[in-house]
Structure 1
Amino acid sequence: MEKDQSKRAAAAAFMGTTIEFYDFYVYATAAALVLGHVFFPTTDPVTGTLAAFATFAVGFIARPLAGLIFGHLGDKLGRKNMLLFTMILMGIATTGIGLIPSYASIGIWAPILLIVLRFLQGISVGGEWGGAVLMASEHAPSHKKTFFASFAQLGSPAGLILCLLVFKAVTSLDEADFLSWGWRIPFLLSFVLMAVGFIIRFGVKESPEFAQAKAQAETVKYPLKNLFKYYWPHVIFAGLAITIGSAGFFFTNTFMITYVTQYLGIERQTILSALFWVTVLQFLTMPLFALWAEKIGAARFLVGIAVVCLIVPYPMFMLVETKNILLITLGITLAVVSLSALYAVVAGFMANAFPTEVRYSGISVSYQFIAALAGGTTPIIGTLLAKNYAGEWLPLAYLFTFLSAMSLVGILGVNYLQRKNKVAENTAALSNEEITQ
């Protein structure tokens, strides 16, 4: 029975994060393609794009707040209830964006409503991720926790694939139809997806590790207080560890849409098609990377792949600059597969850094703060670099390398703390044994 729950929890984590990230990527893609025109029409194209990306960043500003709130509640009240709430919130926020009248219709209220609903999107995804990872990993057998945790990570490429399919359909409309109503369709589909995700999640039992901790009165009254008092180094290093896994996707899947369309003259449909096939490959390879990491050790695997991420942006941009769509696709594939390998494994690695009573808080705060600092600003920084260094790609590659270096430092830090804790636990166990004898 527990084995069935393990599989069901992994499936629910996958479906839930797929829907959450679909909603998040829908906004990101729309920000790159159309939101500047609809909600900031008085500006020039580049400034309009920056304004749209600024509203994109608002969602990331909300995510640390959500990590604090939902992490605390998840460690006190359980993982499942938090996940049901975030699912409903995301569906309402995304559907609402699809219903906002344009700037031409209601003036300044249009961008104001956009910002409010974008903030609610950020709250939702900020509370979602940690719970989804833990429901999958805490239901999993002890020797499969990294692999099962990767199912929550699979929601990112799956959500992007769904997003790209829908946008591929709506961008094939006449330009006037796309700008007036076609762009709204991906947002409105969220309501249907929310209903499906809620039903799937409702059937999964609470995490057995949390249930056991609660039954044995091992939960704590103030999880956040304990987290920052005893585990603040773990929070910092765990956050750094996932940097390229978070920010890298918005570099390749959001900023690169703007870069190749505005600076290389590639058609929107062309780059969306390329990103679709890149993401399919990402989706197929992530479970394989998780299994590989399970065999050789998560820390060893992550250090190696972080080093690869340091190097990979240079061949990527060399291939992108050819303006050949096949070579552009190959270049982006190199980067995406590398950073997605890290992303697939790092969730379980982070979860193991924290004890059960502060685990939801620990991984949520770690991830969401770095997502706000690095993920939300990456498209803006990339756009500014591209504008100020027109025709030069090296500054953009350096940005990718810097984000990868942050991950490498974080992985090494978490590994050091885990080894230190293990030595301390073994020493305490030996001391207790001597006392008993």
Structure 2
Amino acid sequence: MSISDQTGPTRQTSLNTGEMRRILASSFVGSAIEFYDFMLYATASSIVFPKLYFADLGPGLAVVAAFATLAAGYFARPIGGVLFGHFGDRYGRKKALVVSMVVMGGVTVAIGLMPTTAQIGIIAPILLLVLRLVQGVAVGGEWGGAALMAVEHAPKNRRGFAAAFANAGGPAGAVLATLVLSLMTVLTGPAFTTWGWRIPFLLSALLIIVGLMIRLKVSETPAFQALQAASHERRLPVVDVLRHHKGAVVAALMVTISVYTTQAIVTVWGVSVAVAAGEDKTAVLNWKAAAAILTVIVTFASARVSDRVGQRRALTFGCLVTAASAFPLVFLVGSGELGQYAVAIMLGNGVAQGLIYGPIAAYVASLFPADVRYTGASIGYQGASALGAGLTPVIASALVLLPVGGLWWVGAYWAGLALVSAAVAAFYRPGTDTQPAATTMAPAVAAHR
């Protein structure tokens, strides 16, 4: 048997209801707060951590080492996807989201209190790495739950736009993190690199309280309540995903990877290039914040279009735009000049990433049935974050050191991944495409019921 959309609790018929507005606010604000925490680290790894935790390695290797700890957090995200996906598929999306937020807030505050290598020696970078890993696990459980809370409550013809609230929370959190860091560079001046950078991390405690107040007021999704009503339980959702939905996982990963490659090149590696070239940190961070605001706007616009033309078509277009712009944007970023970097981050992060960000959440969610959707969507999406965002700053930093064609190699890497994403979005057709995206049981599971 399969569970239809008519089984169990009623799905929302409009996005303009009190309950639906709370759900969308929960997805947006929750994601914004968790990605505020996560992106604080990304920015600090570009301009602060190399000096405080890896200074003994020399300027070039210190940046690579800081980016390596950044990558570790991204590689922990799939683990978080599996862990929180397991509990989200068995015990509820809402419970998993609350736990992930509490863990993330606690770890971020701990990073803000971390002593430096000069104070406690080699223990400092080791502790920093451990905290980054836990941070990665926590944020790995956030996206899947936030997206599903929106998708599984929304009417069918508005799922792309509803799910975009979870994705738009990411750049919104990046805006907040960047602006707070930028403000601290002004208010604390030379003291920014000693204690000023810590203040944004400590402020996370207040944001977590606000996020929990919103998140605790929303109801569990109709899809999960329907599974509960049918007494349906998967002991190990990850096993079912890897056994029956490997193609969907690979498709989710390969389409999503272009988002994170773009983000890593223009907002992480690009920041380090501009700062290393002597550009003012405050100005660089302000442009990063401006680009993230544009990302939010383009994300919602692209999501709305995707509800009309289909998520696959919208994604294919966004990935092709990214591939076409990769080479010129890489040379703008690689110049190290603030004006050229501003153009690159507005077009790359603001436009190209936003075009893909809009439809990606609804697309990835549609690849999996409800009983394993949290796990499957999280593995694919967070796997892309590990490979795309986690490795790219390190790869780009290494490629530009090659004696011949450094920036050309970075452009080829970026454009190549975007073309692969476009091809998968255009041609991969999952078996669950024709089934209801919110509450359908997996075919293999239904056959055994």
Per the TM superposition, whether the score is higher than 0.5 is yes
Residue in 2 aligned with 1:169?
183
Equivalences for residues 178-257 of structure 1 within 5 A: 178-257=192-271
Change (3 A) 1:283 1:389: farther
2:86 counterpart (66, 72, 78): 72
Change (3 A) 1:322 1:93: closer
| Alignment partner of 1:35 is 2:55 | no
Task: Please list the CA deviations of residues 100-151 of structure 1 after superposition, one character each: whole Å capped at 9, or x if unmatched.
Answer: 1111111112112111111110010011110010001111112111110000
Taking the aligned partners of 2:391 and 2:249, their CA distance within structure 1 comes to: 20
Cα deviation for residue 392 of structure 1 reads: 4.5
Residue in 2 aligned with 1:405?
419
Residue in 1 aligned with 2:327?
314
Task: Please list the CA deviations of residues 367-388 of structure 1 after superposition, one character each: whole Å capped at 9, or x if unmatched.
Answer: 1122222221111111111233
Residue in 1 aligned with 2:153?
139
Q: Which amino acid aligns with 2:269?
A: F
TM-score (norm 1): 0.92
Q: How much identity, in percent, do the aligned residues show?
A: 35
Q: Which amino acid aligns with 1:369?
A: G
Residue in 2 aligned with 1:52?
66
Taking the aligned partners of 1:381 and 1:258, their CA distance within structure 2 comes to: 14
Q: Which amino acid aligns with 1:360?
A: Y
Change (3 A) 1:390 1:99: farther
Q: Which has the higher helix share?
A: 1
RMSD between aligned residues: 2.1
| Alignment partner of 1:268 is 2:268 | no
Taking the aligned partners of 2:114 and 2:68, their CA distance within structure 1 comes to: 18
Equivalences for residues 271-282 of structure 1 within 5 A: 271-282=284-295
C-alpha contact (below 8 Å) 1:259/1:383 kept by paired residues: no
2:370 counterpart (346, 352, 356): 356
Which segment is superposed worse, 26-35 or 233-242?
233-242
Residue in 1 aligned with 2:343?
330
DSSP-derived class of the 1:74 partner: helix
| Alignment partner of 1:370 is 2:379 | no
Task: Please list the CA deviations of residues 22-62 of structure 1 after superposition, one character each: whole Å capped at 9, or x if unmatched.
Answer: 11110000000010111122121111111111111111221
| Alignment partner of 1:113 is 2:127 | yes
Change (3 A) 1:391 1:179: farther
| Equivalent pairs, count | 423
Cα deviation for residue 207 of structure 1 reads: 0.8
Cα deviation for residue 70 of structure 1 reads: 1.1
Change (3 A) 1:282 1:387: same
Change (3 A) 1:69 1:413: farther
Cα deviation for residue 278 of structure 1 reads: 1.5
Residue in 2 aligned with 1:434?
none
1:93 counterpart (78, 102, 107): 107
Taking the aligned partners of 1:383 and 1:227, their CA distance within structure 2 comes to: 35
TM-score (norm 2): 0.89
Equivalences for residues 421-432 of structure 1 within 5 A: none
Q: Which amino acid aligns with 1:172?
A: V
Cα deviation for residue 6 of structure 1 reads: 1.9
Taking the aligned partners of 2:168 and 2:408, their CA distance within structure 1 comes to: 31
Cα deviation for residue 222 of structure 1 reads: 2.8
Q: Which amino acid aligns with 1:259?
A: V
DSSP-derived class of the 2:223 partner: helix
Cα deviation for residue 402 of structure 1 reads: 2.2
Residue in 1 aligned with 2:308?
295
Unaligned runs of 5+ in 1: 429-437
Unaligned runs of 5+ in 2: 1-9, 444-449
C-alpha contact (below 8 Å) 2:313/2:426 kept by paired residues: no
DSSP-derived class of the 2:341 partner: helix
Cα deviation for residue 4 of structure 1 reads: 2.4
Residue in 1 aligned with 2:5?
none
Task: Please list the CA deviations of residues 307-350 of structure 1 after superposition, one character each: whole Å capped at 9, or x if unmatched.
Answer: 11111122323444666644432232222211221112111011
| Alignment partner of 1:123 is 2:134 | no
DSSP-derived class of the 1:415 partner: coil
